[in-house]
A = this chain, B = another copy of it.
Protein backbone atom coordinates (compact mmCIF):
# COMPACT_ATOMS: atom_id res chain seq x y z
CA UNK A 1 0.00 0.00 0.00
CA UNK A 2 1.20 3.48 -0.83
CA UNK A 3 0.12 6.35 1.40
CA UNK A 4 0.68 10.08 1.00
CA UNK A 5 0.63 12.35 4.03
CA UNK A 6 0.13 16.05 3.27
CA UNK A 7 1.08 18.02 6.37
CA UNK A 8 3.74 16.42 8.57
CA UNK A 9 2.98 17.41 12.16
CA UNK A 10 1.92 15.34 15.17
CA UNK A 11 -1.04 13.78 13.33
CA UNK A 12 0.56 13.39 9.92
CA UNK A 13 3.81 12.11 11.43
CA UNK A 14 1.97 9.62 13.63
CA UNK A 15 -0.02 8.37 10.65
CA UNK A 16 3.26 7.90 8.81
CA UNK A 17 4.86 5.95 11.65
CA UNK A 18 1.80 3.76 12.16
CA UNK A 19 1.28 3.16 8.43
CA UNK A 20 4.91 2.12 7.96
CA UNK A 21 4.98 -0.12 11.04
CA UNK A 22 1.50 -1.58 10.97
CA UNK A 23 0.36 -1.47 7.34
CA UNK A 24 3.80 -2.06 5.91
CA UNK A 25 2.99 0.92 3.74
CA UNK A 26 5.32 3.07 1.70
CA UNK A 27 4.71 6.62 2.93
CA UNK A 28 5.48 9.82 1.06
CA UNK A 29 5.13 13.13 2.86
CA UNK A 30 4.80 16.78 1.93
CA UNK A 31 4.68 19.80 4.19
CA UNK A 32 4.46 23.48 3.30
CA UNK A 33 7.53 23.83 5.52
CA UNK A 34 10.10 21.42 3.99
CA UNK A 35 11.88 21.08 7.35
CA UNK A 36 8.87 19.18 8.73
CA UNK A 37 9.00 16.59 5.96
CA UNK A 38 12.76 16.25 6.40
CA UNK A 39 12.28 15.75 10.12
CA UNK A 40 9.55 13.17 9.43
CA UNK A 41 12.00 11.31 7.23
CA UNK A 42 14.64 11.35 9.98
CA UNK A 43 12.15 10.07 12.54
CA UNK A 44 11.06 7.18 10.34
CA UNK A 45 7.58 8.56 9.72
CA UNK A 46 8.20 8.81 5.96
CA UNK A 47 9.94 6.81 3.28
CA UNK A 48 10.17 9.85 1.09
CA UNK A 49 10.03 13.63 1.68
CA UNK A 50 8.35 15.21 -1.33
CA UNK A 51 8.73 18.84 -2.31
CA UNK A 52 5.29 19.24 -3.85
CA UNK A 53 1.78 17.83 -3.51
CA UNK A 54 1.86 16.13 -6.96
CA UNK A 55 5.20 14.51 -6.12
CA UNK A 56 3.83 13.24 -2.79
CA UNK A 57 0.56 11.81 -4.13
CA UNK A 58 2.05 10.16 -7.22
CA UNK A 59 1.08 6.50 -7.06
CA UNK A 60 -0.67 6.80 -3.68
CA UNK A 61 -3.79 4.74 -3.00
CA UNK A 62 -4.63 6.75 0.13
CA UNK A 63 -3.95 10.48 0.50
CA UNK A 64 -4.33 11.99 3.98
CA UNK A 65 -4.50 15.76 4.32
CA UNK A 66 -3.32 16.68 7.83
CA UNK A 67 -3.07 20.45 7.62
CA UNK A 68 -4.79 23.03 9.86
CA UNK A 69 -8.48 23.51 9.08
CA UNK A 70 -7.96 26.87 7.39
CA UNK A 71 -5.60 25.32 4.82
CA UNK A 72 -7.62 22.16 4.17
CA UNK A 73 -9.89 23.21 1.32
CA UNK A 74 -7.01 24.29 -0.92
CA UNK A 75 -4.94 21.26 0.05
CA UNK A 76 -7.73 18.73 -0.48
CA UNK A 77 -8.59 20.29 -3.84
CA UNK A 78 -4.98 20.12 -4.95
CA UNK A 79 -4.69 16.53 -3.72
CA UNK A 80 -7.83 15.49 -5.63
CA UNK A 81 -6.52 17.17 -8.75
CA UNK A 82 -3.06 15.60 -8.55
CA UNK A 83 -3.91 12.10 -7.37
CA UNK A 84 -4.89 9.07 -9.43
CA UNK A 85 -8.52 8.46 -10.35
CA UNK A 86 -8.70 5.48 -8.02
CA UNK A 87 -7.03 7.14 -4.99
CA UNK A 88 -9.09 8.00 -1.93
CA UNK A 89 -8.42 11.39 -0.34
CA UNK A 90 -9.26 12.13 3.30
CA UNK A 91 -8.48 14.73 5.96
CA UNK A 92 -8.20 14.91 9.75
CA UNK A 93 -9.91 18.24 10.47
CA UNK A 94 -12.12 18.67 13.51
CA UNK A 95 -15.05 20.15 11.54
CA UNK A 96 -16.51 18.45 8.49
CA UNK A 97 -19.59 20.03 6.97
CA UNK A 98 -18.08 23.25 5.61
CA UNK A 99 -15.29 21.41 3.81
CA UNK A 100 -17.68 18.91 2.22
CA UNK A 101 -20.00 21.71 1.13
CA UNK A 102 -17.12 23.61 -0.47
CA UNK A 103 -16.00 20.67 -2.59
CA UNK A 104 -17.81 20.26 -5.88
CA UNK A 105 -20.02 17.19 -6.29
CA UNK A 106 -17.53 15.61 -8.62
CA UNK A 107 -14.67 15.98 -6.14
CA UNK A 108 -16.87 14.38 -3.48
CA UNK A 109 -16.67 10.95 -5.14
CA UNK A 110 -13.10 10.36 -4.05
CA UNK A 111 -13.01 12.52 -0.92
CA UNK A 112 -14.16 11.06 2.40
CA UNK A 113 -13.84 13.36 5.41
CA UNK A 114 -12.14 12.06 8.53
CA UNK A 115 -11.49 13.13 12.11
CA UNK A 116 -9.43 11.07 14.56
CA UNK A 117 -10.13 11.91 18.22
CA UNK A 118 -6.48 11.88 19.20
CA UNK A 119 -3.61 14.30 19.38
CA UNK A 120 -3.44 18.05 19.72
CA UNK A 121 -3.50 20.16 16.60
CA UNK A 122 -0.61 22.33 17.69
CA UNK A 123 2.01 19.72 18.42
CA UNK A 124 4.76 19.09 15.90
CA UNK A 125 6.21 16.03 14.21
CA UNK A 126 8.74 15.60 17.01
CA UNK A 127 5.89 14.33 19.18
CA UNK A 128 4.63 11.81 16.62
CA UNK A 129 4.03 8.27 17.90
CA UNK A 130 3.05 5.07 16.10
CA UNK A 131 0.45 4.32 18.79
CA UNK A 132 -1.22 7.73 18.84
CA UNK A 133 -4.45 6.31 17.39
CA UNK A 134 -4.53 3.08 19.38
CA UNK A 135 -8.15 2.59 20.45
CA UNK A 136 -9.14 6.11 19.38
CA UNK A 137 -12.42 6.80 17.65
CA UNK A 138 -11.83 7.98 14.07
CA UNK A 139 -14.91 9.51 12.47
CA UNK A 140 -15.43 9.16 8.73
CA UNK A 141 -18.08 11.16 6.89
CA UNK A 142 -18.95 9.41 3.61
CA UNK A 143 -21.73 10.93 1.53
CA UNK A 144 -24.14 9.47 -1.04
CA UNK A 145 -21.53 10.32 -3.69
CA UNK A 146 -18.74 8.39 -1.98
CA UNK A 147 -17.32 5.35 -3.70
CA UNK A 148 -18.00 2.25 -1.65
CA UNK A 149 -14.72 0.66 -2.70
CA UNK A 150 -12.74 3.70 -1.61
CA UNK A 151 -14.63 3.96 1.69
CA UNK A 152 -13.88 0.34 2.42
CA UNK A 153 -10.18 0.79 1.64
CA UNK A 154 -9.96 3.84 3.90
CA UNK A 155 -11.79 2.37 6.87
CA UNK A 156 -9.71 -0.83 6.73
CA UNK A 157 -6.50 1.18 6.73
CA UNK A 158 -7.68 3.23 9.69
CA UNK A 159 -8.60 0.12 11.66
CA UNK A 160 -5.16 -1.26 10.82
CA UNK A 161 -3.59 1.91 12.26
CA UNK A 162 -5.16 0.80 15.57
CA UNK A 163 -8.11 3.21 15.56
CA UNK A 164 -11.85 2.52 15.61
CA UNK A 165 -13.34 3.92 12.38
CA UNK A 166 -16.95 5.06 12.66
CA UNK A 167 -19.15 6.43 9.89
CA UNK A 168 -21.22 9.47 10.77
CA UNK A 169 -22.92 12.12 8.68
CA UNK A 170 -21.02 15.39 8.62
CA UNK A 171 -23.82 17.43 10.16
CA UNK A 172 -24.18 15.12 13.16
CA UNK A 173 -20.42 15.05 13.60
CA UNK A 174 -20.20 18.80 13.71
CA UNK A 175 -23.11 19.05 16.14
CA UNK A 176 -21.54 16.51 18.52
CA UNK A 177 -18.22 18.35 18.38
CA UNK A 178 -19.98 21.63 19.03
CA UNK A 179 -21.54 20.13 22.16
CA UNK A 180 -18.53 18.46 23.74
CA UNK A 181 -15.73 20.66 22.54
CA UNK A 182 -16.54 23.91 20.77
CA UNK A 183 -19.26 25.27 23.05
CA UNK A 184 -17.19 24.88 26.24
CA UNK A 185 -14.61 27.13 24.60
CA UNK A 186 -17.25 29.75 23.83
CA UNK A 187 -18.51 29.56 27.41
CA UNK A 188 -15.02 29.93 28.84
CA UNK A 189 -14.51 33.05 26.74
CA UNK A 190 -17.83 34.55 27.74
CA UNK A 191 -17.35 33.86 31.43
CA UNK A 192 -13.94 35.52 31.47
CA UNK A 193 -15.26 38.55 29.60
CA UNK A 194 -18.19 38.85 32.03
CA UNK A 195 -15.91 38.57 35.07
CA UNK A 196 -13.56 41.19 33.66
CA UNK A 197 -16.51 43.50 33.01
CA UNK A 198 -17.87 42.89 36.53
CA UNK A 199 -14.50 43.75 37.98
CA UNK A 200 -14.31 46.93 35.94
CA UNK A 201 -17.72 48.00 37.26
CA UNK A 202 -16.95 47.33 40.92
CA UNK A 203 -14.93 49.46 43.25
CA UNK A 204 -13.60 46.16 44.60
CA UNK A 205 -11.14 43.92 42.86
CA UNK A 206 -12.39 40.43 42.24
CA UNK A 207 -11.41 38.13 45.07
CA UNK A 208 -8.90 35.40 44.42
CA UNK A 209 -10.62 33.44 41.70
CA UNK A 210 -12.12 30.22 42.94
CA UNK A 211 -11.41 26.70 41.72
CA UNK A 212 -14.72 26.50 39.86
CA UNK A 213 -13.91 29.67 37.92
CA UNK A 214 -10.42 28.37 37.12
CA UNK A 215 -11.79 25.09 35.79
CA UNK A 216 -14.63 26.63 33.82
CA UNK A 217 -12.44 29.22 32.13
CA UNK A 218 -9.29 27.18 31.62
CA UNK A 219 -9.61 27.09 27.83
CA UNK A 220 -10.58 30.75 27.41
CA UNK A 221 -8.76 32.26 24.46
CA UNK A 222 -7.01 29.00 23.56
CA UNK A 223 -4.85 28.91 20.39
CA UNK A 224 -6.48 31.80 18.51
CA UNK A 225 -5.51 30.64 15.03
CA UNK A 226 -7.00 27.15 15.43
CA UNK A 227 -10.13 28.30 17.21
CA UNK A 228 -10.86 31.04 14.73
CA UNK A 229 -10.97 28.37 12.01
CA UNK A 230 -13.11 26.01 14.09
CA UNK A 231 -15.66 28.72 14.86
CA UNK A 232 -15.63 29.75 11.20
CA UNK A 233 -16.11 26.26 9.79
CA UNK A 234 -18.63 25.03 12.36
CA UNK A 235 -20.46 28.28 12.80
CA UNK A 236 -24.05 27.06 12.45
CA UNK A 237 -23.77 24.11 14.84
CA UNK A 238 -21.79 26.13 17.39
CA UNK A 239 -24.16 29.10 17.20
CA UNK A 240 -27.18 26.83 17.56
CA UNK A 241 -25.73 25.05 20.60
CA UNK A 242 -24.58 28.31 22.17
CA UNK A 243 -28.10 29.67 21.71
CA UNK A 244 -29.48 26.55 23.38
CA UNK A 245 -27.13 26.97 26.34
CA UNK A 246 -28.02 30.66 26.53
CA UNK A 247 -31.71 29.79 26.67
CA UNK A 248 -31.08 27.16 29.38
CA UNK A 249 -29.18 29.77 31.40
CA UNK A 250 -32.10 32.17 31.09
CA UNK A 251 -34.39 29.45 32.40
CA UNK A 252 -31.96 28.63 35.22
CA UNK A 253 -31.85 32.30 36.21
CA UNK A 254 -35.65 32.35 36.36
CA UNK A 255 -35.74 29.20 38.44
CA UNK A 256 -33.15 30.50 40.90
CA UNK A 257 -34.84 33.89 41.11
CA UNK A 258 -38.21 32.25 41.82
CA UNK A 259 -36.92 30.81 45.08
CA UNK A 260 -38.50 27.43 44.26
CA UNK A 261 -36.06 25.38 46.31
CA UNK A 262 -37.55 22.02 45.28
CA UNK A 263 -37.24 23.03 41.63
CA UNK A 264 -33.64 24.18 42.13
CA UNK A 265 -32.80 20.94 43.91
CA UNK A 266 -34.34 18.85 41.13
CA UNK A 267 -32.43 20.81 38.49
CA UNK A 268 -29.15 20.55 40.41
CA UNK A 269 -29.56 16.82 41.01
CA UNK A 270 -30.40 16.20 37.37
CA UNK A 271 -27.08 17.82 36.43
CA UNK A 272 -25.33 15.66 39.01
CA UNK A 273 -26.83 12.49 37.58
CA UNK A 274 -26.24 13.48 33.96
CA UNK A 275 -22.60 14.30 34.58
CA UNK A 276 -22.07 11.02 36.34
CA UNK A 277 -23.67 9.19 33.44
CA UNK A 278 -21.78 11.08 30.73
CA UNK A 279 -18.41 10.55 32.40
CA UNK A 280 -18.69 7.17 33.96
CA UNK A 281 -19.20 5.49 30.64
CA UNK A 282 -15.45 6.08 30.43
CA UNK A 283 -14.47 4.68 33.78
CA UNK A 284 -13.97 1.07 34.64
CA UNK A 285 -13.50 1.48 38.39
CA UNK A 286 -16.85 3.03 39.33
CA UNK A 287 -18.01 6.47 40.39
CA UNK A 288 -15.43 9.20 40.65
CA UNK A 289 -14.64 10.24 44.20
CA UNK A 290 -12.91 13.46 45.09
CA UNK A 291 -10.03 13.58 47.57
CA UNK A 292 -9.10 17.01 48.83
CA UNK A 293 -5.66 17.19 50.40
CA UNK A 294 -4.38 20.24 52.27
CA UNK A 295 -0.76 20.80 51.34
CA UNK A 296 2.06 23.25 51.26
CA UNK A 297 2.42 24.77 47.84
CA UNK A 298 6.08 23.91 47.34
CA UNK A 299 8.04 21.82 44.85
CA UNK A 300 7.88 18.14 45.65
CA UNK A 301 4.51 17.98 47.35
CA UNK A 302 2.63 16.68 44.35
CA UNK A 303 5.42 14.22 43.72
CA UNK A 304 5.32 12.91 47.25
CA UNK A 305 1.58 12.29 47.08
CA UNK A 306 1.55 10.90 43.57
CA UNK A 307 4.51 8.67 44.29
CA UNK A 308 2.90 7.19 47.38
CA UNK A 309 -0.30 6.54 45.42
CA UNK A 310 1.68 5.03 42.57
CA UNK A 311 3.45 2.69 44.98
CA UNK A 312 0.05 1.67 46.33
CA UNK A 313 -1.13 1.04 42.73
CA UNK A 314 -3.86 3.67 42.98
CA UNK A 315 -4.67 5.20 39.62
CA UNK A 316 -5.34 8.96 39.67
CA UNK A 317 -8.07 9.77 37.15
CA UNK A 318 -7.73 13.52 37.45
CA UNK A 319 -5.95 16.08 39.57
CA UNK A 320 -6.16 19.81 40.18
CA UNK A 321 -4.02 22.10 42.31
CA UNK A 322 -5.56 25.07 44.02
CA UNK A 323 -3.11 27.46 45.64
CA UNK A 324 -4.42 29.24 48.71
CA UNK A 325 -4.38 33.02 48.70
CA UNK A 326 -1.01 33.19 50.43
CA UNK A 327 0.50 30.99 47.69
CA UNK A 328 2.25 28.95 50.36
CA UNK A 329 -0.49 26.52 51.24
CA UNK A 330 -3.22 25.08 49.08
CA UNK A 331 -5.19 22.04 48.19
CA UNK A 332 -4.50 19.16 45.85
CA UNK A 333 -7.72 17.64 44.62
CA UNK A 334 -7.51 14.11 43.24
CA UNK A 335 -10.20 12.07 41.57
CA UNK A 336 -10.15 8.31 41.97
CA UNK A 337 -12.64 5.82 40.51
CA UNK A 338 -14.65 3.86 43.06
CA UNK A 339 -15.44 4.36 46.74
CA UNK A 340 -13.17 1.69 48.19
CA UNK A 341 -10.27 2.79 45.99
CA UNK A 342 -10.82 6.37 47.17
CA UNK A 343 -10.75 5.34 50.82
CA UNK A 344 -7.58 3.37 50.21
CA UNK A 345 -6.03 6.39 48.51
CA UNK A 346 -7.08 8.63 51.40
CA UNK A 347 -5.38 6.30 53.88
CA UNK A 348 -2.17 6.38 51.84
CA UNK A 349 -2.15 10.18 51.74
CA UNK A 350 -3.05 10.49 55.41
CA UNK A 351 -0.10 8.21 56.10
CA UNK A 352 2.11 11.00 54.70
CA UNK A 353 0.76 13.35 57.36
CA UNK A 354 -1.68 15.32 55.20
CA UNK A 355 -5.31 15.91 56.07
CA UNK A 356 -7.65 14.47 53.46
CA UNK A 357 -11.37 14.77 52.86
CA UNK A 358 -13.17 12.31 50.57
CA UNK A 359 -16.44 13.28 48.94
CA UNK A 360 -18.55 12.15 46.01
On whether the beta carbons of B195 and A210 are closer than 8 Å, the reply is: no
A184 beta carbon closer than 8 Å to chain B:
yes
On whether the beta carbons of A299 and B314 are closer than 8 Å, the reply is: yes
User: Once bound together, how far apart are the Cα atoms of A252 and B244, in whole Å?
Assistant: 12
Task: Please provide the chain A residues from 280 to 313 with a CB less than 8 Å away from any CB of chain B in the complex.
Answer: 281-282, 284, 292, 294, 297-304, 306-313
On whether the beta carbons of A242 and B236 are closer than 8 Å, the reply is: no
On whether the beta carbons of A168 and B204 are closer than 8 Å, the reply is: yes
Residues in chain B near residue A39, CB distance under 8 A: none
Looking at A61-69, A144-152, A226-234, the stretch in contact with chain B turns out to be A226-234
User: Once bound together, how far apart are the Cα atoms of A118 and B208, in whole Å?
Assistant: 10
- In the complex, given contacts A179-B195, A215-B218, A216-B218, what are 7 additional A-B residue pairs having Cβ atoms less than 8 angstroms apart? A120-B357, A134-B324, A134-B329, A164-B325, A188-B212, A212-B222, A304-B310
Residues in chain B near residue A131, CB distance under 8 A: 329
A82 beta carbon closer than 8 Å to chain B:
no
User: Once bound together, how far apart are the Cα atoms of A223 and B265, in whole Å?
Assistant: 11
On whether the beta carbons of B300 and A311 are closer than 8 Å, the reply is: yes
Q: How far is the CB of A231 from chain B (nearest CB, A)?
A: 5
Residues in chain B near residue A221, CB distance under 8 A: 268-276
A206 beta carbon closer than 8 Å to chain B:
yes
Q: Is the interface of A mostly helix, strand, loop or mixed?
A: helix
Nearest neighbor of A225 in chain B, beta-carbon distance: B265
On whether the beta carbons of B357 and A186 are closer than 8 Å, the reply is: no
A248 beta carbon closer than 8 Å to chain B:
yes
A102 beta carbon closer than 8 Å to chain B:
no
On whether the beta carbons of B269 and A224 are closer than 8 Å, the reply is: yes
On whether the beta carbons of B216 and A277 are closer than 8 Å, the reply is: no
Residues in chain B near residue A129, CB distance under 8 A: 294, 355
Task: Please provide the chain A residues from 235 to 255 with a CB less than 8 Å away from any CB of chain B in the complex.
Answer: 235-236, 238-250, 252-254
A32 beta carbon closer than 8 Å to chain B:
no
User: Once bound together, how far apart are the Cα atoms of A187 and B239, in whole Å?
Assistant: 17
On whether the beta carbons of A271 and B188 are closer than 8 Å, the reply is: yes
Among B189, B204, B247, B253, the residue within 8 A (CB) of A271 is B189
Query: Binary interface profile of A, 179-192, with partner B (CB < 8 Å = 1, else 0)?
Result: 11101111111111
On whether the beta carbons of A310 and B302 are closer than 8 Å, the reply is: yes
User: Once bound together, how far apart are the Cα atoms of A327 and B355, in whole Å?
Assistant: 30
- With contacts A126-B355, A186-B249, A357-B124 taken as known, whether A193 is within 8 angstroms of B271 at the C-beta atoms is yes
A340 beta carbon closer than 8 Å to chain B:
no
Residues in chain B near residue A307, CB distance under 8 A: 300, 303-304, 306-307
On whether the beta carbons of B239 and A134 are closer than 8 Å, the reply is: no
On whether the beta carbons of A257 and B278 are closer than 8 Å, the reply is: no
Q: How far is the CB of A64 from chain B (nearest CB, A)?
A: 20
User: Once bound together, how far apart are the Cα atoms of A136 and B137, in whole Å?
Assistant: 46
On whether the beta carbons of B192 and A179 are closer than 8 Å, the reply is: no
User: Once bound together, how far apart are the Cα atoms of A184 and B218, in whole Å?
Assistant: 12
Query: Binary interface profile of A, 110-122, with partner B (CB < 8 Å = 1, else 0)?
Result: 0000000110101
Q: How far is the CB of A245 from chain B (nearest CB, A)?
A: 5
